[in-house]
Amino acid sequence: MTIVQAAPTAGALLRRTFGHFATGVAVVTTPGPDGPAGLTVNSVASVSLEPPLMLWCLRKESASLDVFASCAYFGVNVLSVAQRETARVFASRHPDRFGTVGWRAGYGGVPVLDDVSAWLVCRRTGAPQSAGDHVIVFGEVVRHHGDGGEPLIFAQSRFRRLQGEES
């Protein structure tokens, strides 16, 4: 029997092309009405140093949209190379994501994960902005820390790590 595979859709081809842009991997967290909420994202960007602003993007179909659209504060936990499984768990529908990791309540009650490469706590600024099938969430950085640990990288649909330094 011959198996014929369907040609990739235009969206799948674009996703593959976007995959050539390497990104960091983070878990965005917030205290929610039913306990801590969090999910894996790779759409995080710094916006401004003065004032200190950053953004991240969330699918409009996400079950977490309401909690992040109404939160006062959120955290961006930049995962380290040792946290691939954390990225997978927070990207899944695991019923107890926070039971799988160590964490503490930081400023504003925001969950800060243990052993991350860096973390930032932000005060959400304004309502999320619509952008295609996602929303853009902006925040002003109110607390942050980076210990210099090697960050987890995502490119071409795989987790990766840095391979040395270039000058």
Residues 129-166: tens digit of each pLDDT: 999 999 999 999 999 999 868 999 999 889 888 876 65
CATH of 23-150 among 3.30.365.10, 2.30.110.10, 3.30.70.360, 2.60.40.10: 2.30.110.10
pLDDT at 122 over 90: yes
Q: Which residue has the higher pLDDT, 89 or 3?
A: 89
Q: Mind listing the pLDDT tens digit for each residue in 31-76?
A: 999 999 999 999 999 999 999 999 999 999 999 999 999 999 999 9
What residues contact 79, with CB distance under 8 A and at least 6 apart? 24, 25, 26, 27, 86, 87, 113, 116, 117, 151, 152
Please report the pLDDT score of residue 10 as a whole number.
82
Distance from CA of residue 57 to its chain's centroid? 8
- Per domain, the residue ranges of the chain are 23-150
Report the alpha-carbon distance of residue 104 to residue 114 in Å, rounded. 8
